[in-house]
Amino acid sequence: MRRRLLAAGLFGAAAYPFASFATETWPTKPVRLIVPFPPGGPVDSTARIFSQKLGEIWKNPIVIDNRAGAGGTIGATIAAKEAPDGYTLFLGSIHHAVNPSLMGKLPYDIEKDFAPVSFAAMFPVFVVAHPSVPASSIKELIAYAKSGHTLAYGSSGNGGGTHLAGELFNMEAGTKLQHVPYKGSGPAMNDLLGGQVQLMFSDAPTALQHIKSGRIKVLGVASRKRSGMLPDVPTVAESGLPGYEAYSWAALFAPAQTPKPILDKINADFNVAMKDAGVKQRLLQAGAEADAGTQEQMRQRLHSEIEKWRKVIQTAGITAG
């Protein structure tokens, strides 16, 4: 038995030779960050904002590698197979909490094949309406919807975060808002502006300019706390629907088996970067709020998100496509 244990120990040391000096010398070369969405979107913008500061801290650049497709599963599949040495990281999103329930069996397991590093950013979801809707608050919206009026809400696509936010609203408010899926938030917003749909549970980057211009009206923000982007807008929870919470997010992962000293260093340095005033301001301008924390907080929150949206998907009978 002693020989077996010794052999196993030697093998482990050979397999992960970087573990013993992780915090002293890592990183010694550029770090690759896989972003599973196209350039220019909220998750990609978040990556580019914090990676610049994090690269300064590490004195090594972070190279953004966009691997878009299949609702974020292509990038996740690639990242899950990379060496667990800290030199490849992955920026996941709410899609990766939803996909297990929406798509069934995947080539990876987001909880088993990745090590959580930290949540990165929260993208507030605003409940917005066409000016023709005779409601100026969440309470008035619920009352109007329950009085027999048909209201349709547009989303960025079937099974996406803005769709699920609407279905969660229906479940908790007892309303029957009709879902109209689009190929992206932009087309959905265009139809809201034109009055073809009456509502949207919209991400901040899509909605803010139109809220500020007065072309649409905002009834509430779906996150737990009021948003620094529009601090005067009440939360849905405080204005008629206690307990309601929906938002999009981005979170930083590493391949499973990445040594803990490296994970600890990444987490510590990442939290420093996300507390930087310049980073926080740039995120706000991009429609995101810095939302870093501990590895354990991320692990628990990820699991909670998976379970929460699984219930919504099953109850509403949502399928991919």
The whole-angstrom separation of Cα 258 and Cα 88 is 10
Q: Are 153 and 197 in contact (CB under 8 A)?
A: yes
pLDDT tens by residue, 261-280: 999 999 999 999 999 999 99
- Helix/strand/coil for 61: coil
pLDDT tens by residue, 136-158: 999 999 999 999 999 999 998 88
Q: Which CATH code fits 124-238?
A: 3.40.190.10
pLDDT in the model for residue 23: 57
Q: Are 127 and 220 in contact (CB under 8 A)?
A: yes
Helix (H) or strand (E) holding 117: strand 114-129
Residue 295 structure tokens: 């590895």
- Helix/strand/coil for 133: coil
Q: Do domains 31-122+248-316 and 124-238 have the same CATH topology?
A: yes
pLDDT in the model for residue 320: 78
Query: Prior bond to 27 cis, omega within 30?
Result: yes
The confidence band for 321, taking pLDDT boundaries of 50, 70 and 90, is low
Model pTM score:
0.89
User: What are the extents of the domains in the chain?
Assistant: 31-122+248-316, 124-238
φ/ψ of residue 312, rounded to 5: -65, -45
Q: Which of 10-14, 63-67, 98-102, 239-243 has the least mean pLDDT? A: 10-14
The whole-angstrom separation of Cα 190 and Cα 187 is 5
As a whole number, mean pLDDT of residues 208-235 equals 96
- Helix/strand/coil for 66: strand
CATH class of 31-122+248-316: alpha beta
pLDDT in the model for residue 28: 97
Question: Nearest Cα to 101, choosing from 298, 296, 316?
Answer: 316
Q: Are 288 and 119 in contact (CB under 8 A)?
A: no
The whole-angstrom separation of Cα 53 and Cα 68 is 24
Question: Nearest Cα to 169, choosing from 200, 124, 131?
Answer: 200
pLDDT tens by residue, 168-220: 999 999 999 999 999 889 999 999 999 999 999 999 989 999 999 999 999 99
